[in-house]
Every structure is written in structure tokens, then in C-alpha cells.
Amino acid sequence: MSGKSIRFSIYSIVLFALAVLGIIYIFKFNILMGIAGVVLLVFPVMIQRKALDEASGNFDKILAKYIVPVLAIVITLLAIMSLALWI
């Protein structure tokens, strides 16, 4: 089990959540800039790939390969549902 892989997975989830909230905030002001803000989602994916490359144990691989993407989908759905409260 690699601690580095687990840290990269956690960083990926945190960065993804911040990127989604940032994109929603940008959409609030300007729709075209919000669409351009979707590029921010590239960074969490790059960190997740690095976590998958660093994974050496079963838990690391399951975390980086399955749990992180599921949490990303859940965060996205929660952000979309809360969008009505922010606008």
C-alpha cells in the first residue's frame, strides 16, 4: 500500500470538488466563461492518473480506480442539485 497514492487520491477529490464549485460560481457571472472553466476538470483527472500509477496494493488500486470516480460523480450531482440554491 502506497501512502503517496492515497494522498494523490484525496488531492484529486478535493481539487475536483473545488473545480466544480468554481465552475458553478463562474457560470453565475458569465456562461461563456463557465464553459471555458470546464478545462479546470483536467487537473483532478491528471492527479487521479498519477495516483493510479503510484498504486501498489489492492486498496490503493480500488481507491484510485473505482472510489475516486464514484465520489467525483456524487460531488457533481450534489453540485448540480445545489445550483438552484446558488442562482
- The grid coordinates listed for 40 are 479546470
Q: Report the number of distinct structural domains present in the chain.
A: 1
pLDDT at 85 over 80: no
pTM, 2 dp: 0.80
Residue-wise pLDDT tens digits, 63-72 = 888 998 898 8
- Phi, psi (5° rounding) for residue 57? -105, 175
Q: What cell was used for 65?
A: 480506480
- Host domain of residue 14: 3-86
Task: Quickly count helices (H) and strands (E) in the chain.
Answer: 5, 0
Average pLDDT over residues 52-62: 86
- What percent of the chain is predicted at pLDDT more than 90? 1
